[in-house]
Amino acid sequence: MKTIIDYKNKTYQIDLANPLDISIPLRDDKNNPTAWYLSPPTISPVKDGDFVGSIKRGASTNFNSILFNPHAHGTHTECIGHITEDFYSINDCLKRFFFYTEVISVYPEKWKEDSVITKQQIEKALKNPSVDALVIRTLPNERDKLTKQYSHTNPPYLLEGAAAFIRECGIKHLLIDLPSVDKEKDNGALLAHKAFWDFHREKRLDATITEFIYVPSIILDGMYFLNLQIASFVNDASPSKPILYKVLSP
């Protein structure tokens, strides 16, 4: 189903019939990807006396409780409330959900003991800096991103200058296939988070960071529209389901 939309005084044709899901499902499984030193999420039936919320165990419905952490257990979208003493909710900060978006791919570079994404790499890869959202896919793009246990592995991250450059382009929504835009163990510096949200100056309350995505290799670098779906959590972050739609024209 091809649809014509008007967006910021331009007309685009997009393919709504072929949504491209770049989220990672959350499941009760040791192979669910995890970070930040937590155990996998659990999904289990409620138990109350003799009642067990499972049809297989005699209940009329399946009635599960889910224990998880949005930052540690899969695709999530966070607002500046993730790093502020004052409370900000993703449910209040994200009020629009449809964005003109570019997907880029980068090989993290070696820097000291780390693998990092630099400003120069983003500048080179980004073809349209006027987009609302940027999706960063790290290379090599192996499927173990769907099951990887990231704790104590020092994954790649964005250098402060790269995050500042993305902010300076006016990009409001940053998505990346890593558990964090920052170094795993940085003594709380959070340089990339702070640079992207302009933490020390005019805080960008309407900007978001989405981490722990997975962009299949069949999705080519280029222009898309993004539907950034969240659950209505009154929290700094929510599990999310970002969906890309291919731009057919112009």
Largest CA distance in the chain: 62
Q: What percent of the chain has pLDDT over 70?
A: 100
Look up the pTM and report it: 0.96
**pLDDT, tens digit (0-9, with 9 covering 90-100), for 171-228:** 999 999 999 999 999 999 999 999 999 999 999 999 999 999 999 999 999 999 999 9
Q: Of 5 and 121, which is predicted with more confidence?
A: 121
Neighbours of 92 (CB within 10 A): 13
- Model pLDDT for residues 226-242, shown as the tens digit of each residue: 999 999 999 999 999 99
**Residue 223: partners with Cβ closer than 8 Å, 6 or more residues away:** 100, 101, 102, 128, 131, 247
Instruction: Reply yes or no on whether the pLDDT at 249 is more than 80.
Output: no
pLDDT at 113 over 90: yes
- Kindly state the percentage of the chain with pLDDT values over 90: 94
* Cα–Cα dist 103/244, whole Å: 10
Nearest to 70 by CA among 62, 59, 58, 78: 78
| Domains present along the chain, CATH in parentheses | 17-25+70-249 (3.50.30.50)
pLDDT, residue 250, reads 66
Question: How high is the mean pLDDT of the chain?
Answer: 96
Which pLDDT band, with edges at 50, 70 and 90, does 153 fall under?
A: very high
